[in-house]
Amino acid sequence: MALRIRRRRLPISAPTGVGILAMRRRAHRTHLAGLLLFAACACRAGGRERDRSAPAAGISVTDDAGSVVTLAAPPQRIVSLSPAATELVFALGAGARLVGRTTWCDYPPEARAVPSVGDGLNPNIEAVAARRPDLVILYRSPLDQPAAARLAALGIPAVVLAQDRLDHLARAARVVGRLVGGGAERKGDSIAAALAALAALAALAARPAPPPRARLAFVVWDTPPVIIGRGSYLDELATLAGATNVFHDASGASAAVSLETIAARDPDVVAVVRDSAGEAAGPPAFLRRPEWQAIRAVRERRLVYLVGSLFGRPSPRAAQAVAELTRLLVEATR
């Protein structure tokens, strides 16, 4: 998602916001391969199943804002106000129930056929209400607190969920699966277990370990330069791919830094997340500007371009993202 205040949009759907294993490398690869296979199989299985039954009336969950959300019956008209939630609803087998999405919701391809209600941060409540939803899924952000209150005043149930990291999405899978009901609850548990396993491995892999290891900087905006810190899903992906985020010491999901700071960190590779709405070949124009040549990886063209629809937010496709980032890093550091 991106906050639209008539300024240049971030090239990912916001940096949500956005070490190698301390064991022998061979054991790390074996363990990681097993978990990635488990994650991929769990997510594929979740996508193939169909709801076979509906739960009893009266479904209650506690969302990440601490509110108790109660539905009289499983929702049949869902509006998702974040790309991660939209992809999750489809993975749970409930994509046919989506009646509204954000401009940024671009995966799976079927999502683009769902009517857009605009942005997900500080959303247009009139546009949301016009879709007559019986459930709205909101991204947890101070910008969405007024939206949740306004929806409540209109009698429209809304669930607020954190969606910045793998463990956040694991919990969201369980919460949304329970709300959707039937087979979706089992799918949600399966997806959550796979994502939680990857999150646990990422935490383990973040422990200090001897080199060699690719040192990576994620750049998600250029003026001013914005990088990814350890509060982001991308930081977890870097760890799982056997790389070190040179800005892992930045506690938030993202931070604005100077070009001099990036150059001083001297990453082996610079990764750029592209805007899924406008993918283009070759390096972004800003990387060709003279001032960016102060960064050795930029000057030597050790660059990785990440597709926003896969890397721009946590998703049930996390195992695919890890495998793709690993492949790209190997190519960039040959």
Structural tokens at position 139: 């991204």
Lowest-confidence pick of 103-107, 129-133, 204-208 = 204-208
Contact 236, 248 (CB under 8 A): no
96 and 235 inside one domain: no
Sort strands 68-71 and 59-62 into parallel, antiparallel or unpaired: antiparallel
Mean pLDDT of all residues in the chain?
82
3-state secondary structure of 193: helix
Lowest-confidence pick of 8-22, 245-259, 318-332 = 8-22
Segment 187-192 mean pLDDT:
94
Residue 170 above 80 pLDDT?
yes
Grade residue 114 by pLDDT with cuts at 50, 70 and 90: very high
Residue 271 above 50 pLDDT?
yes
147 and 195 inside one domain: yes
Residue 79 lies in a domain: yes
Q: What is the pLDDT of residue 116?
A: 97
Q: What is the pLDDT of residue 126?
A: 97
In angstroms, the CA 292 to CA 297 distance is 10
Omega before 283 within 30 of 0, i.e. cis: no
In angstroms, the CA 134 to CA 332 distance is 47
Helix axes 25-48, 83-91, angle to 10 degrees: 70
Residue 226 above 90 pLDDT?
yes
| Domain hosting residue 86, numbered range | 38-202
Q: What is the pLDDT of residue 212?
A: 64
Omega before 212 within 30 of 0, i.e. cis: yes
Residue 2 lies in a domain: no
169 and 258 inside one domain: no
Q: Among candidates 190, 159, 164, which has minimal Cα distance to 175?
A: 159
Contact 219, 269 (CB under 8 A): no
Residue 11 lies in a domain: no
Inter-CA distances, 132 with 125, 128, 154, Å: 11, 7, 11
Inter-CA distances, 142 with 138, 139, 147, 259, 276, Å: 11, 9, 10, 29, 25
Residue 187 above 90 pLDDT?
yes
219 and 321 inside one domain: yes
Residue 291 above 70 pLDDT?
yes
106 and 159 inside one domain: yes
325 and 308 inside one domain: yes
In angstroms, the CA 82 to CA 13 distance is 9
Question: Which residue, of 167, 183, 202, is where some domain finishes?
Answer: 202
267 and 189 inside one domain: no
In angstroms, the CA 238 to CA 328 distance is 11
Residue 13 above 50 pLDDT?
no
Residue 14 lies in a domain: no
Residue 21 above 90 pLDDT?
no
Lowest-confidence pick of 27-36, 72-81, 109-118 = 27-36
| Number of structural domains found in the chain | 2
Contact 164, 17 (CB under 8 A): yes
Structural tokens at position 203: 């935490």
Q: Which residue has the higher pLDDT, 182 or 46?
A: 182
185 and 283 inside one domain: no
Residue 109: phi and psi, rounded to 5, are: -55, -30
Q: Among candidates 283, 216, 273, which has minimal Cα distance to 14?
A: 273
Residue 77 lies in a domain: yes
DSSP letter string, 144-184: GHHHHHHHHHTT--EEEE--SSHHHHHHHHHHHHHHH-THH
153 and 128 inside one domain: yes
Question: Which residue, of 202, 232, 255, is where some domain finishes?
Answer: 202
259 and 116 inside one domain: no
For 35-79, the pLDDT digits (tens) are 444 444 444 444 444 343 444 458 999 999 999 999 999 999 999
Q: What is the pLDDT of residue 20?
A: 23
Q: What is the pLDDT of residue 88?
A: 96
Residue 122 lies in a domain: yes
Segment 245-273 mean pLDDT:
94
Question: Which residue, of 150, 167, 202, is where some domain finishes?
Answer: 202
CATH number, domain with residue 102 = 3.40.50.1980
For 193-218, the pLDDT digits (tens) are 999 888 888 776 665 554 567 899 99
Q: Among candidates 158, 162, 178, 169, which has minimal Cα distance to 67?
A: 158
Residue 30 lies in a domain: no
In angstroms, the CA 245 to CA 334 distance is 19
Q: Among candidates 11, 16, 82, which has minimal Cα distance to 273?
A: 11
Structural tokens at position 192: 């959550």
Q: Which residue has the higher pLDDT, 198 or 80?
A: 80
Residue 68 lies in a domain: yes
262 and 121 inside one domain: no
63 and 136 inside one domain: yes
